[in-house]
Amino acid sequence: MALLRMRVFTDNFSPKLELDADFTHPVLCRDQYGSSRRSARSTVGQRVSRDSRRPQFSSVLTDHLVPSGGTIALQGHPSLRSRGYVARNPSSLAHPTWVRTFEESGVHTLMVAGVTESEAGLYTCRASNLFGHVDTSAAVEVVPPGSVRGGKPAMFVSRPDQDMAVALGEDITVSFRVTGDPKPQVTWMKGIRDITNSQRSLKETFDDYVRLTLKRALPSDAGTYCILAKNVYGCDRSFVTVRIRQRARSLTPSGGWSNLETSTILRDIRDQLERDRLKGT
């Protein structure tokens, strides 16, 4: 006799089916003094592929160490199958007006600016669709001022503008100041891509002043960028949303228009008004 149990689940990105089989079968034991027959029970486990419509995260949340007054940015990258995304802290945030959520290149971000110790805690991101949901969590620790001996967490002293409009073909330039001991490492991200050292990027540093430039803006450069300042004692973030606008067309009159005299233009206007008046009678 065999008893078959089947349990469905999802493991990472590979949809799975867990198959548990319990079998009852006879066992014959024999030695030089004789033999004995008994029943035994065996369990066989097997995993095979199954449907994968439940959402998944390609990367999970990681714990954060943020300086007091800095910015928390929790980022999740759910699969395209998910239709909903929730990021939350079990306790209410102290400054709800400073909370922002956005999506860039498939990366969903919860941003909390100007954090204090009251914003520390466990945060959970949930991706869900009709077939289920999946959660990933991270602990956020806020570093109070002066709490680190012999060092200082990375932090923005001045931040770039949150929104900027750049004409197509012009350079995207952001400037800011960072502090920290040891000196923070600055990284420029768009979605999950590190563009700090891309072919069109330029990074200039003088003391605590940093200027980042992305040459010759393209339509695809529109979106929200994340700038990270990080050292061993903490990480701070700033976000910049860039709009790409088309270059303005020339307002210089054409050659034919410039040859027209003012009297001719006014005469044509009077003639048109007269024609319109006659049509109305």
pLDDT at 241: 94
Please report, for the domain that includes residue 207, its CATH number: 2.60.40.10
Bond into 182 cis (ω within 30)? yes
pLDDT exceeds 60 at position 16: no
- Predicted pLDDT of residue 75: 77
- Give residue-wise pLDDT tens across range 24-38: 444 445 555 555 555
Return the beta strands (E) in 12-95 as ranges: 14-31, 34-49, 64-67, 72-76, 84-88
Residue 166 and residue 128 in one domain: no
Examine the domain organization and report whether 107 and 164 are in the same domain.
no
Q: Which domain holds residue 37?
A: 2-49
Indicate if 221 and 169 belong to the same structural domain.
Answer: yes
Model pLDDT, residue 32: 54
**Confidence at 274, pLDDT banded by 50, 70, 90:** low
Residue 174 counted as domain residue: yes
How high is the pLDDT of residue 226?
93
Both structure tokens of 171: 């350079």
Residue 67 inside a domain? The answer is yes
Q: Do 139 and 205 fall within a single domain?
A: no
Q: What is the pTM of this model?
A: 0.62
Number of domains in the chain: 3
Same domain, 142 and 193: no
* Residue in this structure with the two tokens 């990480």, named with its chain if needed: 235
d(CA 40, CA 35): 16
Give the lowest-confidence range in 7-21, 53-67, 85-99, 141-155.
7-21
User: From its phi and psi, is residue 191 left (phi > 0), alpha (psi between -120 and 50) or beta?
Assistant: left
Type and span of the H or E element at 278: helix 262-280
**What pairs with residue 16 in β-bridges?**
9, 49
Round to whole Å and give the CA distance between 237 and 37: 71
What is the pLDDT at residue 141? Answer: 92
In this predicted structure, what is the pLDDT of residue 240?
94
Give the per-residue pLDDT at 250. Answer: 55
Residues 243 and 154 in one domain: yes
- Is the pLDDT confidence value at 4 over 60? no
Indicate if 116 and 169 belong to the same structural domain: no
- Residue 271 in any domain: the answer is no
Residue 247 pLDDT > 70: yes
